[in-house]
Amino acid sequence: MGAPPDALARVESLRQQLALHNYRYYVLDDPLISDAEWDQMLRELIDLEHHYPELISADSPTQRVGATPSDEFASARHRVPMLSLDNAFSDEEVRAFDRRVRERLELADTAPAVRYSAEPKLDGLAISVIYEKGQLVRAATRGDGTVGEDVTANIRTIRAVPLRLNGHAPALIEARGEVFMPRAGFEQLNRQAAERGEKVFANPRNAAAGSLRQLDPRVTAKRPLEIFFYALGSVEGMTFPVSHSETLSALKELGLRVSPETAQVEGAEGCLQYFASLQRRRATLDYEIDGVVYKVDSLVSQSRLGFLSRAPRWAIAHKFPAEEATTLLREVEFQVGRTGALTPVARLTPVVVGGVTVSNATLHNMDEIERKDVRIGDTVVVRRAGDVIPEVARVVISRRPSDAQAVRLPSHCPVCGAAVRREPDAAVARCTGEFSCKAQRKERLRHFAARRALDIEGLGDKLIEQVVDAGLVATPADIFTLTRGQLAALERMGEKSADNVLSAIERSKETTLARFLFALGIREVGEATAAALAQHFGSLEALLGASFEQVQQVPDVGPVVAAQLTDFFARDENRRVISQLQQAGVRWPRIDSRSAQMDQPLTGLTFVLTGSLESMSRDQAEDRLRALGARASGSVSKKTSYVIAGADAGSKLAKAEALGVPVLDEAALIEILDQRRLPN
Ligand code: D41
């Protein structure tokens, strides 16, 4: 019997194409076909193999998931030990590492800087995968570095791990890397677990570990695991590269995915710059990293340096500062926001979190306090992520004292004494004092003067506090009545600073309708809604005259926003402030709605800004591009028209280059803004 030759040929061709598209997708991050087309090919292959089982081979993409669960993992001895990494927790420790490297390599002080390969330190599990003649034959966890667990069946289910290598694969190659779970997959997995009432994972690392340690590979197959490779173990039938960066290129060429964030840097200072730039971009990555790894790039130098006990002398992990810390919750106070919302704030015994001392953390609202069962006197875990406000993440129940006090929502505003109202079913409680509440007044003024609103430079928290307390300013319109004498009389304010504030106030009068609407601080009206309203109505008068129904004609404006708008504009107090502002000279260019939408020079174009600009902030640049009709976006895709790359541009620039999106520099941006059109 046997399968007909054309079936064999088709099976081979499908496998080759599927492998190629997998490589384009995972390794090059540049897919050529859609997921649906990929699935279609896989289905055809499954059908053929079903008809002709003799054509099934172990490296067929249909054979990723073995059907037989095992009782336990076999142990697997590594051919070459898997080393561990030493840690550095400060810039000084990185400099000391570089000094040790230089000393051991006997470099003179005048010798050039050592070249390092720098890469993100993924927060996952180290594994080793062996390919013989290009076929995946075994995969093992790191274990104690000498003996790990054989997880071949589970690693085979990870689509980013090829079952067969590209091109002329060596007789044997052992590749090492880190298995991890991207944030989005982790969140989805936990959502599903929560819906089924199952236990959720504490973090992506635990989820990745738990998924890899499944005895049934069918379970692992459903988990969104990914991998980046970063080292070679033993190799046969291939000449070793001369540097770590070449090793990474060789791995990539064989079809093994490596981190696109890898870079070569010079000396300790280069390492530290890389660290800072990755730390800034940390939150934009799709996966969690806990630091950076620096590796002496030259393999000759690596072997001269050797290793000490378990860790190489030529590599070090520079860890980001911990972002969670435990401390005592001493008191809970309530802050009154712009719209009167009362936010419970935890007063803490100061603690260092992620390199910053934290003594206050938000508790969000009463529902959250209840959900987390937070009481005064508790020991709590404080979390800080990037530049967001620190929050109380959870309570350490085992350390709760017997006299811990429940948190009570005050019945009256702590600032103005007006009644506090909690709307039924709403998490938020509000002070009913409105304009008479000083806290609300200050917050509204702060919002009005903020950078993205009227942008009054110098009118910051301190000064607002002073002018409100001195009774000089109650509403935004009062800002424009301030005199030099009044300002100069304030504490810590000379005539010169007073003049600076006055000229900033003067400059702020020239604004846009969108900014003005946003600055008013109408509930539910954020920047995007304000811009949509301005674009739709073209003038303030048109918006003021619009009915509840007419307002809802604006894209993204539903009944909730519309109700807030009509409510706001129906109040005499608000109308009065608006007309006072206009009388004071606050003005904006008229938007001719039709021309605004159709005929602007950059209409239809999408820009992404990355890196830092010299002549203006990114926000300013985005505003100016938007004023010419462009869209400004935060992420690069095939739909991006141009990427503007400033200094220190990182992954967005790389992505633009990979996708073939044109990249412009700051000079070109300035030309576009000045000429009000694209360069020729
Ligand atoms: O991303 C990582 N977690 C990572 C781990 C990395 N990027 N590079 C690594 N390099 C090594 C050496 C230098 C020993 C090849 C590592 C690890 N080791 C490692 N992971 C777990 C233990 C050691």
Beta strands in 539-636 (DSSP E): 606-610, 631-633
Q: How far is the C-alpha of 550 from the C-alpha of 428, rounded, in Å?
A: 29
Q: How far is the C-alpha of 161 from the C-alpha of 227, rounded, in Å?
A: 7
Q: What is the position in ligand 1's atom list of the atom closest to the CA of 314? A: 13
121, 372, 442, 652: the catalytic one is 121
**Whose CA is closest to atom 2 on ligand 1?**
121
Active-site residue flag, 442: no
How much is the mean pLDDT over the chain? 90
**Whose CA is closest to atom 12 on ligand 1?**
83
What average pLDDT does this structure show over 95-117?
96
The boundaries of every CATH 3.40.50.10190 domain in the chain are: 600-675
DSSP string, 290-348: EEEEEEESBHHHHHHH-EETTEETTEEEEEPPPSEEEEEEEEEEEEE-TTSBEEEEEEE
**Whether 372 contacts 395, CB under 8 Å:** yes
The pLDDT value given to residue 598 = 54
27-36, 96-105, 264-273, 406-415: range with lowest mean pLDDT: 27-36
Ligand 1 probe mutation, 78, 85, 235, 290, most atoms within 8 A of CB: 85
For residue 172, what are its two tokens?
A: 């044997």
pLDDT tens-digit series, residues 550-574 = 899 887 788 889 999 999 999 898 9
Q: How far is the C-alpha of 593 from the C-alpha of 643, rounded, in Å?
A: 28
Residue with tokens 């109380």: 392
Across 64-78, 353-367, 473-487, 657-671, the highest mean pLDDT is recorded for: 473-487
The pLDDT value given to residue 386 = 54
**Whose CA is closest to atom 9 on ligand 1?**
230
What average pLDDT does this structure show over 227-239?
93
The residue count of the chain comes to: 680
User: Ligand 1 centre and the CA of 85: distance in Å?
Assistant: 6
Q: How far is the C-alpha of 229 from the C-alpha of 131, rounded, in Å?
A: 13
Q: Which residues, judged by CB distance below 6 Å to any ligand atom, belong to the binding site of ligand 1?
A: 83-85, 119, 121-122, 126, 142, 178, 230-231, 293, 295, 312, 315
Across 169-183, 534-548, 588-602, 621-635, the highest mean pLDDT is recorded for: 169-183
Integer CA distances (angstroms), 199 to 161, 185, 550, in order: 28, 16, 48
Q: Which CATH superfamily is domain 434-507 in?
A: 5' to 3' exonuclease, C-terminal subdomain (1.10.150.20)
The boundaries of every CATH 3.30.470.30 domain in the chain are: 94-319
Which DSSP state fits 200? P
**Whether 126 contacts 177, CB under 8 Å:** yes
Torsion 89-92-96-102 (CA) sign: positive
**Whose CA is closest to atom 4 on ligand 1?**
121
Task: Classify residue 463 by burial, with Cβ atoms within 10 Å: 0-12, 13-18, 19+.
Answer: buried
Beta strands in 371-501 (DSSP E): 375-376, 379-383, 391-395, 405-406, 420-422, 429-431
What average pLDDT does this structure show over 140-148?
91
The model's confidence at residue 595, banded by pLDDT at 50, 70 and 90, is very low
What average pLDDT does this structure show over 186-205?
86
**The CATH number of domain 600-675, selected from 3.40.50.10190, 3.40.50.740, 3.30.460.10, 3.40.50.300:** 3.40.50.10190
The boundaries of every CATH 1.10.150.20 domain in the chain are: 434-507, 513-595
pTM, 2 dp: 0.57
pLDDT tens-digit series, residues 639-650 = 889 999 988 888
Q: What is the position in ligand 1's atom list of the atom closest to the CA of 228? A: 1
**The one-letter amino acid at 105:** L
SS3 616: coil
User: Ligand 1 centre and the CA of 217: distance in Å?
Assistant: 25
115-119, 547-551, 617-621: range with lowest mean pLDDT: 617-621
The boundaries of every CATH 1.10.287.610 domain in the chain are: 5-65
Q: Which one has a higher pLDDT value, 199 or 338?
A: 338
The pLDDT value given to residue 658 = 87
* Best CA proximity match to 385, nearest among 427, 323, 304, 298: 323
**Whether 81 contacts 65, CB under 8 Å:** no
User: Which contiguous run of DSSP H or E holds residue 172?
Assistant: strand 172-180
The boundaries of every CATH 2.40.50.140 domain in the chain are: 324-421
We find that the CATH architecture of domain 5-65 is Orthogonal Bundle (1.10)
Query: What are 329's strand-pairing partners?
Result: 348
Top-level class of domain 94-319:
alpha beta
- CATH match of 324-421 with 3.30.70.360: no
* Best CA proximity match to 322, nearest among 398, 381, 397: 381
Q: What is the position in ligand 1's atom list of the atom closest to the CA of 119? A: 7
Q: What is the chain's Cα-based Rg?
A: 30
pLDDT of 436 higher than 90: no
Q: What are phi and psi of 475, to 5 degrees?
A: -120, 165
What average pLDDT does this structure show over 88-102?
95
pLDDT of 112 higher than 60: yes
**Whose CA is closest to atom 13 on ligand 1?**
315
The model's confidence at residue 596, banded by pLDDT at 50, 70 and 90, is very low
Distant-in-sequence, close-in-space partners of 92: CB < 8 Å, separation ≥ 6:
none
- Residue 462, by phi and psi: left (phi above 0), alpha (psi -120 to 50) or beta? alpha
Query: What are 344's strand-pairing partners?
Result: 334
Q: How far is the C-alpha of 372 from the C-alpha of 393, rounded, in Å?
A: 8
For residue 414, what are its two tokens?
A: 């702590």
Helix, strand, coil in percent for the chain, rounding step 5: 40, 20, 40
pLDDT of 313 higher than 50: yes
SS3 60: coil
Top-level class of domain 513-595:
mainly alpha
